Structure 1
Amino acid sequence: MIVYRRIVKWLGRILLATVFLAPLTATAMATDKSIEKKPLHIRGIKGHDDRVRVDITAAPWKMIGRLNNNGSFCTGILVGPSEVVTAAHCFWDKQRQKWAVPSGFHFVLGYEKGLYEAQTEIVSYSLVSGPPLMRGGKKPPLADDWALVTLKVPLGQTYGYIRPVPFDAARIKQPRPGATFLQAGYSKDIPHILTSDMDCDLLGVQKTGVGKEPVILHRCDATNGDSGSPILMRDGHRYSLIGIHVATVTRPEEQDIGIAVSVDNFRRKLAVNQ
């Protein structure tokens, strides 16, 4: 896998990278009728749409949930008995330009078409710098776009959780024969079903600053609502958490590139919290 030098420039143009909380709506985006038979293009879908429905009662899908907040949502995954990791910008109040209070959020497991297996309130969340400042603050850069969430009810004790392991860039560059990478989340255009891109390409890793863990460049089909969704490596029946999707970089006349925060960005802090 080759990471082109141009990607560095694209990452530098951070204004081109967009991260959203997806509005909660069952209405799919409409096709542009101005050109007959024009294919529907959704930002973050990289070429052919490879998302498929998954069995939310089986692992690891049952560990992935939707983080709901007043009509908007992101995706998160259980990484401990009471801990979920998701994208930090899911808690950023864009209109008020400050961090949202945790009490307005709910984490829902096994959600599909209005039904769910379990749900709980959010007690707190922690950013790279620690607990958020309810007054002031700013949206984090890509490498720091992660948050560890503490749940009121320890859903991980019942439904299981995935333990983050040290990130190994070599596994991306030279994965074991038969190993594949995948992503799963609740997308804006398919908000009521958990879907997965079951075999997607990871392009490599890219440093974003001195002392920062690298971000992962990928071509998994992830769009609005998928923020915080896990990037997993499947090796036989074993799944490993590689990182979480946080953004999409648009490239004119070329396929979009997904950005994921590597597991090492939050793994150590999770170990301290537990």
Structure 2
Amino acid sequence: MVHNVESGGGGKGVSCIIRAAVLVVWFYIAGVYGGPVSGPAVSSDQQYIYSPRVVVSGDVFPWRAIGRINLAGRGYCTATLIARDVVLTAAHCLWNRDMGRWYPLQYLKFVVGMNGKNVQAVAGIKRMLVSRAFSAAVSQAAKPWLDVRSDWALLRLDKPLGDMLGSVSLATGMRPSVGMPVVHAGYRYDRQEVLTVQQRCVITGIYDRQRLLRSNCQSGYGDSGGPLLFRQEGRWYVLGLHSVRVGDSASLAVAARVYSEFWSGF
């Protein structure tokens, strides 16, 4: 099930996930890792060499399709154009913990193509779609994996920026595998006004019927909602979106198959 929020709604009818949003953000800040999910999983303990993050140009595709959701002067998260007027980000980014509600959509902006103070385009948000299943573990000892899988949000823009900048397709037909090379992109806290990427990281675990992906991509504040990208035959795809840091050297992403069926109809 999904939950719609129209522009100006300001968070009505979302009491079922108040604790969820707070706790998922806490998991991100604290870097809590609750252990492997119960049930079938595929993972690898192989040691990998980490590549450094590098700055990429906001003038070049696919990087120009990756921007920030600015949260009314209260911070930001990374987001990706997946259609001409739809962006993908993490649900926990959009919850105002201080006010106990969603950020009012009229105060949110999608800013793309950042290079310092310069930007290529800005759009407002008309509508938001999040999963009603978004919930979090109730204690540090519990396993947050099955809750993280619902940490996604789709935002409808008031301008079709994808017509100008392009959009990155969701990897709906791909079967992820351990060892698959991926690229992690985001506006991380240490370079907030430029997009940085980590190349040559890989998928290290697949969980919950391929709905959760673990990688050895190293993430930080600001990366939430950023894409886990895969390139095949010269084309880029969103394989998953970054939700939570796992310790110091790995990340969890919500796989594209989880939200791919919703974006075209909301």
Q: TM-score range with shorter-chain normalisation? A: 0.7 to 0.9
Residue 196 of structure 1 is matched in structure 2 by 197
Q: Is 1:167–1:242's contact at 8 Å kept on the other side of the alignment? A: no
* Identical positions, percent: 26
How far the C-alpha of 1:124 sits from its partner, in A, is 1.7
Separation in 2 of the partners of 1:202 and 1:128?
24
Secondary structure of the structure 1 residue equivalent to 2:204 = strand
Residue 151 of structure 1 is matched in structure 2 by 157
Q: Is 1:242–1:263's contact at 8 Å kept on the other side of the alignment? A: yes
1:54 correspondence with 2:56: yes
**TM-score normalised by length of structure 1:** 0.72
**TM-score normalised by length of structure 2:** 0.74
1:106 correspondence with 2:99: no
Q: Is 1:215–1:261's contact at 8 Å kept on the other side of the alignment? A: yes
Separation in 1 of the partners of 2:101 and 2:135?
7
Deviations, residues 74-126 of structure 1 (Å, cap 9, x unaligned): 00000111100000011111122222211111001101111101001111211
Separation in 1 of the partners of 2:74 and 2:150?
25
Separation in 2 of the partners of 1:63 and 1:257?
24
Separation in 2 of the partners of 1:235 and 1:262?
17
Secondary structure of the structure 1 residue equivalent to 2:260 = helix
Pair 1:203–1:167, CA change in 2 (3 A):
farther
Deviations, residues 37-58 of structure 1 (Å, cap 9, x unaligned): xxxxxxxxx9856100112111
Separation in 1 of the partners of 2:98 and 2:28?
14
Secondary structure of the structure 2 residue equivalent to 1:18 = helix
Deviations, residues 180-223 of structure 1 (Å, cap 9, x unaligned): 3101110011101100001112102111xxxx762110111221
Q: Which residue of 66, 69, 75 corresponds with 1:67?
A: 69
Residue 118 of structure 2 is matched in structure 1 by 115
- Matched ranges for 1:69-108 at <5 A: 69=71, 70-108=73-111
How far the C-alpha of 1:168 sits from its partner, in A, is 3.4
- Matched ranges for 1:1-274 at <5 A: 18-19=27-28, 50-69=52-71, 70-129=73-132, 141-166=147-172, 168-169=174-175, 171-173=176-178, 175=180, 180-207=181-208, 214-250=211-247, 255-273=248-266
Pair 1:93–1:218, CA change in 2 (3 A):
same
Separation in 2 of the partners of 1:139 and 1:86?
18
Pair 1:153–1:139, CA change in 2 (3 A):
farther
How far the C-alpha of 1:17 sits from its partner, in A, is 6.6
- Max radius of gyration: which structure? 1
Q: Is 1:50–1:221's contact at 8 Å kept on the other side of the alignment? A: no
Q: Is 2:51–2:201's contact at 8 Å kept on the other side of the alignment? A: no
Q: Is 2:25–2:92's contact at 8 Å kept on the other side of the alignment? A: no
Secondary structure of the structure 2 residue equivalent to 1:270 = coil
Bigger shift: 142-151 or 88-97?
A: 88-97
Letter in 2 for 1:125: M
Where does structure 1 lack aligned partners over 5 or more consecutive residues?
1-13, 21-45, 131-136
Letter in 1 for 2:127: S
Separation in 2 of the partners of 1:106 and 1:164?
22
Where does structure 2 lack aligned partners over 5 or more consecutive residues?
1-22, 30-47, 138-146
Letter in 1 for 2:211: P
How far the C-alpha of 1:257 sits from its partner, in A, is 2.2
Moved over 6 A (4+): 14-17, 137-140
How far the C-alpha of 1:16 sits from its partner, in A, is 10
